[in-house]
Amino acid sequence: MKWLREIGTPALVDVTGPKAILPVRNYSGEFYDKLASINREQFLSKLKANGGRSGKPCQAGCVIHCSNHYNDAKGEYLTSGLEYETVALLGANCDIADFDIIARMDWLCDDFGIDTIETGATIGVCMEAGKIPWGDGEAAIGLIEEMISGTELGKLLGQGTLVAGKTLGVKRIPTVKGQAMAAYDPRNLKGTGVTYATSPMGADHTAGLTMSAALNPISPLGQASLSGMVQSVAATADSFMCLFAWSGAALPETIPELVASVYGGEWDFDKVLDIGRQSLLREKAFNIAAGLKEESDRLPEFFLTEQSPATGAVFDIKPIELDRVLNY
């Protein structure tokens, strides 16, 4: 966890970029040819040059300190908590390789109260539709300002990636259950692709990220069961604490003791994880009652049919495997 304090989540660009997991130009599946402009070295260089700093706690009592203060070129505060997802979706996904531009976009999103993942994915489909050029940071900022101003286009974009993509006639619309996909290409990280498809919340990386698993991320073997396991862990962690803190503290012998000290009774780690499993089953039951059927537990078609140019992979987890993921 030391790297989180020293750099924060933007360091993940150095992991996802070389493996073609980083979303590039609306999930084209390419390697990013401008990776050096948004990697960890460049991020730390920007912080140092402008008087920013990493290793900040997001709130009082945080023991991870993965947040940061990012200043503009004048050394004036611009934004806090610039994270990997924001750098990836507002950056590489839109072919914008400039931390200063990305930070300005992040500030606008925070000030207006909109999500940077959804916004980055929405700008990506706008660029694919030809509304603005790829990599045009100022034009991208202009789209966010249109959302803030409530122009006709801004109101359309404010409805999110799915509605904007369909209205603009875009083929590649990276959403599941209407939610924009987080910054991991599911063709090249298939366990997380399973999580995107089957999580009751939609395409949410915090529901079960599989990047640290020992499995070959491009092979379909074992990915469905892996996702089911990590989803139960993530849902359990959400019932206790920040997922980063959980990763550092959740030893199989420690967490049951802590739970027992509060609630009494006999606990083991599997019983603790059942908290997450039961949460997911309730969420799934809610979705079914709301009219979401098995077809909603699927990735967009283009991930199944378009090979990643970087690896040649497609998302090839069988539907029957997806349907069984949350059958605890």
Please write the tens of the pLDDT for every residue from 275-328: 999 999 999 999 999 999 889 999 999 999 999 999 999 999 999 999 999 998
Rounded CA Rg of the chain: 20
Distance CA 38, CA 128 (A): 21
* Residue 253: predicted pLDDT: 83
| 79-125 per-position pLDDT tens digit | 999 999 999 999 999 999 999 999 999 999 999 999 999 999 999 99
Cα–Cα nearest to 326, from 239, 179, 201, 186: 201
Adjacent-strand bridge partners of 71? 77
CB atoms within 10 A of CB 211: 16
Residues 277, 286: Cα–Cα separation, whole Å: 14
Q: pLDDT at position 305, please?
A: 98
User: Considering only CA atoms, which of 197, 277, 269 is closest in space to residue 238?
Assistant: 277
Position 219, amino acid: S
CA-CA distance, 43 to 23, in Å (whole number)? 18
What is the value of pTM for the model shown?
A: 0.95
- What type of residue sits at position 113? G
Which domains, from first to last, does the chain contain?
1-183 (1.10.569.10), 186-328 (1.10.599.10)
Q: How confident is the model at residue 245 (pLDDT cuts 50, 70, 90)?
A: confident
In the DSSP assignment, the letter for residue 249 is H
Which of 90, 99, 106 is closest to 39 using CA atoms?
99
Query: Tokens at residue 134, please?
Result: 């790829």
Q: What value does the mean pLDDT take over residues 11-24?
A: 97
Mean pLDDT of 152-168: 98
